[in-house]
Amino acid sequence: MQKSKSSSGSIVKFALIGLLLISAPWFNAKADSNIDELNHKIADIALLKDQLGDRKRQTEAALEAILKQQNQLLAETHLLIKSLHIKSFQDAQQHLRLRYDMELLGTIVSYRQAFETKIRFYQNGRDKLNYLQKLAEDDTKMITTLSDFRIDALATQISLVINQYLEEAHSIQINPQNIEMISSQGIWNGIVGGKY
């Protein structure tokens, strides 16, 4: 009876080893599939990061041109206010050149703020993508110890961030209808208050 117990224990051990050997190719195939998925996500992230970087540089160049215009108009506006001895917004409105300068400044400052917001948007996207890329790269190194759930959760998170920024990656999108325009009165208040 002792011999039959040890032989049945050996049979069970061999059966378990056999099952492990049979399931090993499936496990390796699953790990390879997860690595492929994460490598694809890493490539998507790298492409989107580059595109957002390009849009950020383009937006910064446009912002630089806007700032140049703003500074020129502000210099002229300050000169007119000083030389014409303007003391109030109502007085400023009586001088055609000054009135147009302040209206144009309102538009320029509004767009400047929109471009600054867009630059922050692109940088936030790049920061999020850098973080996710690092996670994905780390996970590909440890793929055999990770659960499918964690890999699926990371892949879903990457897809959500990519979808959030993908549309904005191809061209600078600033909708004039969404820009809150600064009025001439707001510009006057900024000039008098030392903001501009």
The answer to whether position 84 is within a domain reads: yes
Nearest to 128 by CA among 45, 37, 36: 45
Domain residues for the domain of 159 are: 32-192
The answer to whether position 43 is within a domain reads: yes
The answer to whether position 18 is within a domain reads: no
Residues 110 and 67: their CA atoms lie apart, in Å, by 11
Could you give the number of structural domains in the chain?
1
- pLDDT greater than 50 at residue 163: yes
Average pLDDT for 8-19:
53
The pLDDT, as a whole number, for residue 141 is 77
Phi and psi at residue 180, in whole multiples of 5°?
A: -85, 110
Q: What is the pLDDT of residues 108-162, one digit of tens each?
A: 999 999 999 999 999 999 999 999 999 998 888 777 666 666 778 888 999 999 9
The answer to whether position 7 is within a domain reads: no
The answer to whether position 20 is within a domain reads: no
pTM of the model: 0.75
The answer to whether position 58 is within a domain reads: yes
What whole-number percentage of the chain has pLDDT above 90?
66
Nearest to 165 by CA among 39, 56, 37: 56
Q: What is the pLDDT of residues 49-62, one digit of tens each?
A: 999 999 999 999 99
The answer to whether position 9 is within a domain reads: no
The answer to whether position 26 is within a domain reads: no
